Amino acid sequence: MTSTTMKSIQSQPLIEIGIIIAGLLDEVDEQATSLAVQSTRNFLLNHFPDFEFDLFIVRRPELVDANVVQPSVLLQRAVEERDFRHWDYSFVLTSADLDRYYAAHCSAALSRPLDAAVISFSLIDPVAVGESMDETLRVQRVAYRLSRLMLHSLSHLSGLGPSDDPTNLMSHPADAKDLDAMETLAASQVEQQRLSFTEVADQRLEEISGHRLSGPAFAMRAGWINRREIIEAIVAARPWQFPRRLSGLTLASVSTVAVLLMTAEAWDLALSESWLCIVLLTTAAWLLTTGYVIVRQQLLVRHGRRPSEQSIVTAASAIGIVVGGMVVTWLWLCFLGLTVSSSLFGSSLIASWAASSDLSPNDVTVLLKMKMSLFSASIGLLIGALGASFESQHYFRHIIFVDEEV
């Protein structure tokens, strides 16, 4: 019986969580995993008695054969398994270290756009960080910490925000020992997560509509139904930090804007164009850079012949995150262009550069400088997209999809 059929006959809404064991685990981690899965399920049943929770363990020893792995690679496999098996959430457990980009260390990489998380045993094992204890206590300690990470991840994927209370499951642990104190959720957090579970446990659109909707209609319907989840995933990715994180794109864009601002022909061309042409250029720059980056960095997860509602949400979130990042970068470039042109270039010089427009120094206003800023920012963004292609694909996918490192 498939999980889709199971959901349709469940007396209680069903939440399905897949747990993928990537690579091989030692005996301690194997025992700890069993205990942690049971502890996690018991916690969920106690706090959300209106739901049924099924946790499945799938072993994929071939996924990890190194001491350090890229979370983005394992997240990709988590999504593939999630879509194939129709899970609601997907966790990957590994004994390997996780490469990190935001924090000093990384025990878990969480992704709301993908409804998935990658968790490592390497930093939560007390023996691995120099503590000594007997095997029984070690298994219990690893199991408890693993269950805290799983519950924290699930709460994060459900949309819960961070907490300053060190006993709260949404606290951000500074190290593995902080996980030992994380045990509760506030009443408001439980209610928020309950509402999220209610939405997740609903039948998927493909289960309701079957093949009645065409591909575009299905995608639009799925995007509209899940618009809040998509927006939350975009916000969680913090696209306003893209100019700092994507240094290749930013450097190429800023260099292009600087060259254009010091080129007489660029001023002449920009100021001779209509505002409609500038608007069309700006729109084209946003669309072309977004499309190029998505294709070049392979950000859209591959699916079968017919996408699922979850896959549409993942794709829409990825596109929205990239668009948001491009727009934020473009706005910074506009600000840079307007600041430099207003500070360094006098009206007489600009009028002499814009020869074909037959301008006098009195005609050079802030509005014309803004037109040049929009023009140079749009061209800069297009060139910057080429700079983004030099970023590591693992790094770029991490920036797009991983919104928290624990």
Residues 6+ apart with CB under 8 A from 210: none
| Spatial CA neighbour of 114 closest among 290, 320, 394, 311 | 311
3-state secondary structure of 318: helix
pLDDT tens for residues 292-328?
888 887 787 655 556 777 888 888 888 999 999 999 9
**For 77-120, what is each residue's pLDDT tens digit?**
999 899 888 899 999 999 999 998 887 788 999 999 889 999 99
Are the beta carbons of 41 and 143 closer than 8 angstroms?
no
Beta bridge partners of 59: 21
Beta partners for residue 69, in sequence order: 98
Contact at 8 Å (CB) between 175 and 103?
no
Distance CA 303, CA 1 (A): 22
**C-beta of residue 59 within 8 angstroms of C-beta of residue 93:** no
Residue pLDDT tens, the chain, 406 long: 445 444 544 578 899 999 999 999 999 999 999 999 999 999 999 999 999 999 999 999 999 988 899 999 999 999 989 988 889 999 999 999 999 888 778 899 999 988 999 999 999 998 877 777 888 999 999 999 999 999 999 999 998 999 999 999 999 998 888 999 999 999 999 999 999 999 888 766 666 655 566 677 888 888 888 888 889 889 888 888 888 888 888 889 999 999 999 999 999 999 999 999 999 999 999 999 988 888 887 787 655 556 777 888 888 888 999 999 999 999 999 999 999 999 999 899 998 998 887 888 888 889 999 999 999 999 999 998 887 766 778 888 888 889 889 8
pLDDT digits (tens, 9 = 90+) for 26-57: 999 999 999 999 999 999 999 999 999 999 99
pTM for this structure?
A: 0.83
- pLDDT value of position 8: 46
Count CB neighbours of 208 within 10 A. Answer: 12
CA separation, residue 287 to residues 99, 145, 224, 293, 327 (Å)? 31, 44, 21, 10, 10
